[in-house]
Structure 1
Amino acid sequence: MPPQMKLTAITLDCADPEALAAFYQRATGLEPHPASDRDFAALTQQGGPVIGFQRVDDYRPPLWPAQTVPQQFHLDFEVDNLDDAEAELLELGAAKPEGQPGGARWRVLTDPAGHPFCLTRPR
């Protein structure tokens, strides 16, 4: 029987943890974790996992969809309206890569540190 594990945190490497945490805070409304500092920042939610951002020297952002610097993982966020959410996130500093494999079902954006993330329609 596999161990019973509960996901408690997801941590993203980046060059500027405070800036990336600020982007995701504005995008999600999550609260800053009180232990955040210059080298590690985090966002928290009641009953949910912490999203952490850790400083990495010589950080190189993923190049999506190319794999010369692979994405390694991505986050999915369910939104009520893809167009509205995309517009708001682009205004906050996200970017939209040219390659969009999801059609009308999902959109791929990248955060200010270059990590790809998806916006999805409700299931």
Structure 2
Amino acid sequence: MPPQMKLTAITLDCADPETMAAFYREATGFELHPKSGPDFAGVTGPDGLVIGFQRVDGYRAPRWPGQAVPQQSHLDFKVEDLDEAEALLLELGAAKPEHQPGGDRWRVFTDPAGHPFCLTRA
């Protein structure tokens, strides 16, 4: 039997980890990671999952849906009300790209560092 693995953290590159942690803290309600600082910051969910952000010199934001600077990964979040969540995210600094392939089932956004993420109906 293979070893059991539990996902404990996801870390994304960015130019400003503290701004990213603040955005995701407000968007998710997760707690600020206790070791957050200028080079690494993160948020911790109730199950212990950390979404971390590490400073990268010369960071280039992904260009979704194009591939000039590929997204490489993205996060998906479930929400009860897509419209309510969208309004909050846009207020917090997310952007909503024009290209929306999910119709009324899911929506694509980009965080302040340009990483695409999706909201789906719970």
Normalized against structure 1, the TM-score is what?
0.96
Residue 56 in structure 1 maps to residue 51 in structure 2: no
Alignment match, 1:19: 19
Alignment match, 1:109: 109
Listed as ranges, the gaps of 5+ residues in structure 2 are: none
Other structure's SS at 1:94 match: coil
CA distance in structure 2 between the aligned counterparts of 1:48 and 1:41, rounded to whole angstroms: 15
Mapping 1:33-72, distance limit 5 Å: 33-72=33-72
Over aligned residues, Cα RMSD in angstroms? 0.8
Alignment match, 1:79: 79
CA distance in structure 2 between the aligned counterparts of 1:18 and 1:81, rounded to whole angstroms: 27
Other structure's SS at 2:35 match: coil
The letter of the residue matching 1:93 is G
Q: Which runs of 4+ in 1 moved over 6 A?
A: none
Structure 1 residue 37: deviation in Å?
1.1
Aligned length: 122
Listed as ranges, the gaps of 5+ residues in structure 1 are: none
Normalized against structure 2, the TM-score is what?
0.97
The letter of the residue matching 1:109 is F
